[in-house]
Chain A
Amino acid sequence: MSDYFPFLVAGITEGSIFALVAVGLVLTYRTTGVFNFAFGAQAYVCAVIYYDLRKEQELPVPIAFALSVFVAGPVIGLLLDRLIFRYMTRAPFVTRIGVAIGLTVALPAIVALYTAGEDKFGPPAVGPTPPRFYEVGSLSVDSDQIVVMVSTVLVVVALGALFRITALGLQMRAVVESHRLVELAGVDANRANTAAWVLSSTLAALAGVVLAPLSAGSLSAGRFTILVVGAIAAALFARLTSLPLAVAGGLLLGIAQALLVKWLPPASVLAQGIRPAFPFAVMIVLLLFWPGLRNRREAVDPLAGVDPPPAAAGIVAGWRERHAAVPLALGLGVIATGVALIVLSPFWQGVTAKAVIMATMFLSFVVLTGLAGHLSLCQAAFSGIGAFTAGQLAVEHGMSIIGGALVGAALAAAVGALVALPALRLGGLFLALATLAFGLMLDNVVFVQSWVAGSGSRGLDVPRPLLGSIDFRANGSFLLLSAIAFAVVALFVWLLRGGTTGGFLTALRGSPIAASAIGISERRARVVAFTVAAGIAGFAGGLLAAQAGSVAPVNFSTFQSLYWTVVALAVGVATIRSALAAGLLIVFVPELLAELPERWAVLQFVLFGLGVLVLARHPEGALEYVLAKFHIGARDTQAAPLHPVAVGERV
C-alpha cells in the first residue's frame, strides 16, 4: 500500500484541479442550460487580469484577488448574460454550443489584442511565492495546491447551500427546466438567469486565479482549454447535474491518471497510446454507457409539447424553380473561375484554390448541420484522415493525389459511420461531445504517429496531381481542379438535399417523433448524414494537403475543428453558397489581416468567434441574412433555416 500512497496523493492533487473546473461546467449547465466550453477561456481572462493587477500594478494579494474574482468575474458574467445568452434561452442546442465555442475562440484572441502577444511569464500565486511545502507522508503538497483544494471544497459547500436553501438557487434550476413555467409562477426568469451567469462567471474567475500558478512558466489559454477538455469527463460522470459527483469524478480521473503512470512502462508503445488518450477514452465510455446520460433528451420543458412541432421547411419549391438554379450557378462558377485565372497572380491563384477547397470542406457542414441538425466537433479530424491517407498513398505507393483523396474520403466516411453508430442513442449535446472526444483521440494519439504524419519536423510532403498531360503543380491549373471538385461535391450535396435522404433528414429535424411515426429511421438517417459529411471533409482534406504541399497534425487539430465549426455557424450552414462564402472568408480574411501589423492577425478569431452570435437572431447564418436584407440573388428555396421555429417559442 505504501507503494501506492504517493500516487494516490499525486492523483488527488491533480484531480482537484479537474474537480474545480468540472464543478464550473456542471454549475453553468444546471443554472443556464448552456454547456459552457468557454469556461476555460473566461478563467484565462481573469487569470490575465490577476496577473496584471499583481505584477504590473503591484497590488497586494487580497485586493488583486477581490478585483479579479469578485469584480471582473461578475462583470464578465453580466456582460455575457445581457449581450449574448439572454437571447438564447430558447435557442436550440446547436446555437448555444456554437456561441460557447465561438467565445472559446474569441476571448483568448481579445486578450492577445490587449497584450499585443506579450508573454505573461510566471503567473502569480494567491499563497506564498515560492510556494511553501507541507509534508504528507513521503510526499509534499504545496501551498498552491492547497489553495485549489480548499477553494473546491468551499465552492461545493456554498453552492450546495445555495441550491438547497435559497429561493434563488431553486429559481435558477427551474429556469433551465422551463423558462415559461417559471414565469407563470411569477418569478422573473431573466433575473434568475442573470444571477446564474454572474455566479458561474465568478467561479470561472476563481478557477483562473487559483489554477494559473499551478502551471509554471507562461500563462497560456491553451492550458485552460486542456483543463476544460479533461474536466468534461468528470462533468459527464456527474451527469452534468451533481456537484459532489463532479468533484468525485475529477478526483477519480486524477487518481486513475496517476495510477497509469505507476503501472505503465513509461517508454512503452502502450503508455504512449494510453496516457494521452485516457481522458478522451473515459469521455467516450461515459457517453456510451453511463446510466443517466443514455437516452437523455435535451428538451425537458414540460411546456415544449404544447406547441406544434416546427414546420419542416425546405422542399416546397417547384421542380422547375429548383433546377433552374444549377445551370445558373454553374455558369457563374465558370465565369468566376475564368476571371480568377486571368486576373490573379499565381500566388493569389494558390490562395483562391485553398479557399475553394475549404468551401468544399464546408459543404460537409451543410449536410450535417444545415440539413441534419447535428453538430460535429471533429470535422478537421475527418479532413485529416483524408489528407494523411492521400499523402501516405502518394509518398509510399505513388498513387495519384486525386485517387488518394478519394480513398481518404472513403476511409473518412467509414470512420464517420463508426463515430455515428455507437453514438446513435445520444442527443444533440452528447453527440457533439462524443465527436469532440473522438477528434481529440485522433489528434493526440493517431495523427502524431510517424506512420501517419511522417517523422520529420516539416510534416509529410504531398505532391500535386498530374492528369495526362495537365500538370497541376501550377497554381492556376490547381485552382481549376479545385473549382471542378467543388462543383461536383456541391452538385452531389444539392441532389442529396433535394432527394429522399434530404427529405428524411429535414423531416427528422422538424420532428423526430412525427418522422419516426411515418416510418423514417432516425438511426439510419443519422449514420448517412455523418458518413456523407465525413466523406466530403476527407476528400477536401486530401486536396488541401496537395494544395499546401505538405500536411502535419497541426493542420487538422481539434482547435481547427472548433474554429471551422465557428466559421461555418457564423457564415451559415443552410445553403451551398454559404459554404462557398465560408471557404472564401476563412482563407481571405487572414490574408487581408496580414497586411496589418502582426498583432492584428488574431482579429480573425475575434471576428468569427463573435460572428457566431449572429446565430441567435438569424439562424439562417450571416450570409443568407445579408443577402435577404439587401434582396440580392434569388431566395434559395431549398434552404432550410437551422431551426425554423425554436422549440418552445410561441408561433
Chain B
Amino acid sequence: MRRGPVRDALGSGRVRASLALAMVVLLAACGNAGDDDDDAGGDAGGSGGATTTGVSETEIRVGGLVSLTGPLAQQFKGSADGAQAYFDLVNERGGVHGRTITMVEIRNDNTDPARNQEEARALVEQDEIFAVVPLATPVFASADYLADAQMPVFGWRIQDEWNDHETFYGHVGTWAEIDPPGDAGGAYGPKRLGFTKVGVLGYTAPQSADCAEAAARNYEAGGLDVVYENTSLPLGTADFTADAQKIKDAGVEFLQTCIDTNGNLNLARALQRVDYHVAMGWPTGYEQEVLAEYGDLLQDVYFVLQHRPFEEAASSPGLQEYLTEFPRLAPDGKIGNQSLIGWVNAKLFVDGLEAVGPELTREKLVETINTEFTEWDADGIIWPLDWSVQHTGPNPYGCGLTSVTVENGAFVQVLGKPWNCLGRVQTEAELDAYIAAEEGGATPEEAAEAALEASE
C-alpha cells in the first residue's frame, strides 16, 4: 500500500515548494498605491454617485454608521435611537417639503476600524443614501473615504478626523480645540473646586492611557499637584481594591478617570472598601439608570457635559421637546447623552433640509448650513455653533462645556452656568484670572475676556 509517493515527494516536493515561494518574493518587488496622492478611494464609486442620490419626490434616504457592538459600544449605540426617533417625529408632522425621511439602515462597525471602512463603503455604494445620519464611532477610519465621496455626515464628534471637512457636522461643531498636553484650562474643574492633590487613572489601552496622561499634564500646567498617576490598569479589571489602597496612600483629593462606567463603578466600590472618599471626574455615567442602581457610589462624582443638563430643560425648548417626544417615539430607548446626540444630529440635518427648500442637492444642503447657520443651538440644547467657521476652527471663546454632579441623590448643574468658556485658557495665570472673574460674578464670556487680558 505505502509505496512510491513518499519517496517521490522526498526529492521534488521541497524544490517545488521553494519555487512557489520564490514566485511570491518576485511579486513583492513593487510599491504601494496611493502612497502620497490624496485622491484615494480608488474606483470604488468614490464620488458617491449623483448629488441627488437617495432623494425622490416622496422620500429622502439616510443611513447610519454606529458602533452597536464591540468593546466601547455601550457608549455609542443610543445615538442611533435618538436620530431614528427624531426622524419619526418629523415624518409624523408631515416630513420635510413633502418628503418623508427613511432610515435605510443603521450599519454597525463593531468598533473595528476595518469594519468601519467596509460599512461606510456599503452605505455609499450599496444603500443609495443621501446623507449619513448619525455617525457615532470611536474608530472613524472611513473619514477620508466619506469626505472624498462628498457625503454629508452628521454625527458624534469624538476624534480629530472630523476636522477640516466641510461636509461633516459634529454635534458640538466639527472643529474642537486640540491643545497639546499641558493646557491649564483642563485643570479648571478640580481647581475651581479647591482641590490641590489630584490623581489620574487609565487602562493600558492607548486611548485611555493617553487621556489620563494628558489630564495629568493639564493639571500640572494649572498648578495642581499630581500625586497619583496610573496608566497600568489591565482592560477589563473588575477588582480595584489594591489600586484603591494606593489612591488612599497617595492622599488624592480629586481623581480624574479615563475608564468606562463599569470600571468606574467598580473603582468606587473598591474605594468604599478601603474606606476612602475622593471626588472624581468620570467621562461617562450621567444616566438616571446609573443613579438609580448605584446612587451610593456617585456622591461627589463630576461629569463634564457637552449639552445642557436635562435638569435645566426649562431654559431650552429643544431639550423639552426631546424629553417629551423621545420616550414616546422610542419606548425602549434610554434618555441620556447618547440618544440626545443622535437627536441633535438629526435635528441639524432636518433644519438644513428645511432651509434648502424643495430643490434638494447635497451641495445645496452643505452650502446652506455652512453659510446661513451662524448661530445654531438646537433650540438651546447646545452652545450656539457658527457653521461658517466651525469646520476649520473652534468658536471664539471655546465655550460649550458644563458639568453636573450628584447632590442628595439627584444630578445638579455645577461649574459653569450655563456654559464654560475655557477653550482659550492655556496658562495657570489665565486659569486663575478666569476663576477669579467667575467668582466675582462675571459671565463665562467675561471670564474668558479676563483670562485673555491676564495673558498679556
Contacts and interface: CB of A to CB of B under 8 A. Distances in A.
Interface in A294-347: 315-319, 322, 345-347
Contact of A350 (B13, B34, B44): B44
Given A7-B242, A459-B114, A474-B44, A495 B275 contact: no
B65 to A, nearest CB: 13
Interface stretch (B87-95, B232-240, B353-361): B232-240
Interface in B75-119: 106-108, 110-118
Interface in A495-550: 495-496, 498-503, 544-545, 548-550
B239 to A, nearest CB: 4
A325 to B, nearest CB: 13
Interface stretch (B120-128, B174-182, B417-425): B120-128
A467 B167 CA distance: 34
Given A488-B24, A502-B9, A503-B9, A276 B235 contact: yes
A80 interface: no
Nearest to A112: B69
B207 A350 contact: no
A275 B234 contact: yes
A217 B266 contact: yes
Contact of B34 (A122, A274, A463): A463
Interface stretch (A35-43, A261-269, A429-437, A564-572): A261-269
Contacts of A545: 114
B108 A601 contact: yes
B185 to A, nearest CB: 22
B20 interface: yes
Contacts of B234: 275-276, 444
Interface in A262-294: 262, 264, 266-268, 271-272, 274-276
A429 to B, nearest CB: 25
Interface in A584-607: 594, 598, 601
A554 B205 CA distance: 11
B235 A444 contact: yes
Interface stretch (B223-231, B309-317, B385-393, B427-435): B223-231
Interface residues of B, number: 104
A597 B210 CA distance: 36
Given A215-B266, A319-B8, A465-B32, A266 B206 contact: no
Given A216-B265, A400-B32, A347 B9 contact: no
B151 to A, nearest CB: 15
B222 to A, nearest CB: 19
A188 interface: no
Given A117-B68, A267-B229, A492-B20, A223 B273 contact: no
A272 B138 CA distance: 22
B14 A345 contact: no
Contacts of B294: 122, 130, 216
Interface stretch (B49-57, B139-147, B376-384): B139-147
Given A122-B294, A394-B32, A499-B9, A138 B269 contact: no
A499 B10 contact: yes
Interface in A63-108: none
A154 interface: no
Nearest to B161: A458
Contacts of B236: 222-223, 226
A118 B108 CA distance: 16
Contacts of B14: 499-500
Interface string A338-364: 000000011100110000000000000
B439 interface: no
B29 interface: yes
B23 interface: yes
Contact of A473 (B17, B24, B42, B332): B42
A384 to B, nearest CB: 12
A14 B241 contact: yes
B139 A552 contact: yes
Interface string B270-293: 001111000000000000011001
A552 B112 contact: yes
A474 B42 contact: yes
A261 B43 contact: no
B245 interface: yes
Contacts of B441: none
B17 A272 contact: no
A9 B273 CA distance: 11
Interface string A449-472: 110010111110101111110011
A29 B158 CA distance: 47
Nearest to A347: B125
Interface string B180-204: 0000000000000000000000001
A142 interface: yes
Interface in B149-180: 158-159, 161
B396 interface: no
A122 B13 contact: no
Contacts of B241: 6, 9-10, 13-14, 139, 258
Given A350-B44, A554-B70, A138 B33 contact: no
A10 B239 contact: yes
A214 interface: yes
A312 B236 CA distance: 45
Contact of B204 (A322, A448, A491, A544): A448
A549 B24 contact: no
Nearest to A453: B206
B21 A492 contact: yes
Give the residue among B122, B236, B294 with the most A Cβ atoms within 10 A.
B236
B409 interface: no
Contact of B30 (A17, A138, A402): A402
Contacts of A130: 294, 296
Nearest to B262: A217
B327 interface: no
B204 A275 contact: yes
Contact of B207 (A17, A316, A457): A457
B242 A464 contact: no
Interface string A208-248: 00000011111010110010000000000000000000000
Contact of A315 (B2, B34, B71): B2
Give the residue among A464, A471, A491, A598 with the most B Cβ atoms within 10 A.
A598
A266 B229 contact: yes
A140 B272 CA distance: 8
B289 A450 contact: no
Contacts of B4: 318-319
17 contacts: A10-B245, A14-B239, A122-B293, A142-B272, A142-B273, A276-B204, A318-B5, A319-B8, A350-B44, A400-B29, A402-B30, A455-B210, A463-B34, A464-B34, A467-B30, A488-B23, A491-B20
| List of 5 A-B pairs having minimum Cβ-Cβ separation, nearest first | A499-B13, A217-B262, A548-B114, A271-B232, A266-B230
Given A142-B273, A275-B204, 14 more contacts: A214-B238, A217-B263, A272-B231, A275-B234, A402-B24, A405-B28, A465-B33, A466-B30, A466-B32, A467-B31, A492-B20, A554-B110, A555-B113, A555-B114
